[in-house]
Amino acid sequence: MGDAETLFRLSGLNAAYAATIDADRLEDWPGFFLERCIYKVTTAENFARGYAAGIIFADNRAMLADRVVALRGANIYERQRYRHVVGMPVLGPTEDGVIVAETSFVIVRTMRDGQMELFAAGVYRDRVREDADGVLRFAERIVVCDSQRFDTLVAIPL
């Protein structure tokens, strides 16, 4: 893959990922990841200090599916939706077929009563590779939020 093609495919992956969450197709969200994967939501400060804990942490796709089941069937929170705006990926070196990339994001959250706010901004630090069928999936997506402060709750994944 040349850089141009990589950029094109990654941008498509990011766009599809964002659209899936924003359209509330959360059941499809784990499918963007490889079966063995890391998904973590943390902050720039924790990331810089090397603190390992996240507010969401999964080391396999089943844990992501569990989160969706919990959100649908267990957890109590007010209806809300996200709108992601995702930037152009910045490519790092490709290692053994693993694409390393960083992509800025902004998420606006709209609550049930219409209240809108800038909910999160940060960078996706990704490791992406093709699965057996040649489809790009996340081996790792670390969601590094610029702020250490989260409003009330982070229910829907970022």
Partner 1 sequence: MDQSTRDLSVGSWPAGLTRVPYWVYRDPEVARDEQSRVFEGPVWNYLCLEADIPETGDFRASFIGTMPVVVARTEDGSIAAFENRCVHRGAMICLEDGGRVKDFHCVYHAWRYDLSGNLKSIAFRHGVNGQGGMPADFRMEDHRPRKVRITTLHGLVFGTLADDAPDIETYIGPEITARVRRVLHKKVEVIGRFTQALPNNWKLYMENVRDTYHASLLHLFFTTFRITRLSQGGGVLVSENGVAHASATRGAPPQHDTSYAGIRSDDQGFQLSDPTFMNGRNEFGDDIQLQILTVFPGFVLQQINNCLAIRQTLPRGVDRMDLHWTYIGFADDPPDLRAMRLKQANLVGPAGYVSMEDGCVGGFVQRGIASADEELSVVEMGGGAADSQDTRATEASVRGFWKAYRSVMGF
Pattern 25-54, binding to partner 1, x per CB under 8 A? ----------------xxx-xx----xxxx
Q: Are 37 and 138 in contact (CB under 8 A)?
A: yes
Q: By CB under 8 A, which span of 3-11, 90-98, 128-136, 150-158 interacts with partner 1?
A: 150-158
Q: Least distance from C-beta 5 to partner 1, angstroms?
A: 34
DSSP H helices in 1-132: 3-22, 44-49, 61-73
* Beta-bridge partner residues of 80: 111
Pattern 90-129, binding to partner 1, x per CB under 8 A? ----------------------------------------
Q: Are 74 and 60 in contact (CB under 8 A)?
A: no
* Beta-bridge partner residues of 112: none
Handedness of CA 53, 54, 55, 56 (dihedral sign): negative
DSSP states of 111-130: ETTS-EEEEEEEEEEEEEEE
Assess 137 for contact with partner 1 (CB under 8 A). no
Q: Which of residues 55-84 bind partner 1 (CB under 8 A)?
A: 55-60, 62-63, 65-67, 69-70, 73-78
Q: Least distance from C-beta 155 to partner 1, angstroms?
A: 6
What is the length of the chain? 158
Q: Least distance from C-beta 120 to partner 1, angstroms?
A: 11
Q: By the criterion CB under 8 A, which residues form the site for partner 1? A: 41-43, 45-46, 51-60, 62-63, 65-67, 69-70, 73-78, 148-155
